[in-house]
Amino acid sequence: MTLAISERLGAIAAYCPTGARVADIGSDHALLAAYLLESGAASFVVAGEVNEGPFRAACRQLSPMVDKGRASVRKGDGLAVLNPGEVDVVCIAGMGGQLIVSILERGHAILADVQRLILQPNVGEELVRRWLLQNGWQLRSETILKEDQVLYEILVAEPGDPYKPYEEQERSVEELLRLGPILWRQKPTLLIEKWRREQEKSRKILRQVACSQRPETVERAREIKQELNWIDEVIRCLQTGKP
């Protein structure tokens, strides 16, 4: 029987090409890796974990597959657990964008042989997109989904022309790094919800800043108002389908 996994992990799994050799870095209980093997999506998986508890959990989860030579569970930091040419796909999910970028940045040698990255930052998607843009990875897909009231974005990239998804758009690269160049083209309904949430966060900060007596808050309030104007315009475009 195939493992039941969350909608988020299922969406990540759907981006793994059939038969691929996949590394799941920061695998925790290795649910994704186990699902990829059981569903027949992956031919071989490496589950990488830096922390002892999740590493042991991953060992327990994958033990029958390790015995069959279809999985390997490794303890270590980021991509350092991999050998060059060993996997086709690297998944890094459920962490902040900054941590994902630091894992990618320290793994250039391993990434030279990787054909696809599937990244799901919990926050800081802009940082991940910027790293991909600056390191020769072309965004191929972007998805936004909601599970248990939390919004998640999944970014899929392959070696290629990193500027391609940013071309022929009316927004600047800087704006598209925030919005997601593919999400912006597609304008899914959840993107409006994401930017309404961002609007609410900025409004809250503005209310706090407005209560403060410190002189530097005048400039800060001006910046937040500018941000709110930008978000207003973004939401209007999302609602009307304008570029």
Binding site for ligand SAM (CB under 6 A): 25-28, 48-51, 54, 77-78, 93-95, 99, 103
Residue matched to tokens 């060059």: 84
> From the CB of 215, what's the least distance to ligand SAM, in Å?
40
Q: Name which of 26 and 180 has its Cβ closer to ligand SAM.
A: 26
Cα dihedral 64/79/160/164 (nearest 10)? 100
> From the CB of 190, what's the least distance to ligand SAM, in Å?
19
> From the CB of 89, what's the least distance to ligand SAM, in Å?
14
**Sequence-distant (≥ 6) Cβ neighbours of residue 170 within 8 angstroms:** 243
Q: Please give the single-letter amino acid code of residue 213.
A: Q
Q: Name which of 20 and 176 has its Cβ closer to ligand SAM.
A: 20
**Sequence-distant (≥ 6) Cβ neighbours of residue 10 within 8 angstroms:** 35
Q: Please give the single-letter amino acid code of residue 62.
A: L
Q: Name which of 46 and 238 has its Cβ closer to ligand SAM.
A: 46
Burial label for 124, CB within 10 Å (0-12, 13-18, 19+), is: middle
Q: Name which of 54 and 188 has its Cβ closer to ligand SAM.
A: 54
Phi/psi-derived region of residue 16, left when phi > 0, alpha when psi is between -120 and 50, beta in every other case? beta
> From the CB of 82, what's the least distance to ligand SAM, in Å?
11
> From the CB of 78, what's the least distance to ligand SAM, in Å?
4
Q: Please give the single-letter amino acid code of residue 75.
A: K
> From the CB of 115, what's the least distance to ligand SAM, in Å?
20
Give the pair of three-digit tokens for residue 98.
Answer: 């900054």
Q: Name which of 34 and 95 has its Cβ closer to ligand SAM.
A: 95
Query: Which residue from 19, 69, 75 is spatially nearest to 47, judged by alpha carbons?
Result: 75
Q: Name which of 26 and 181 has its Cβ closer to ligand SAM.
A: 26
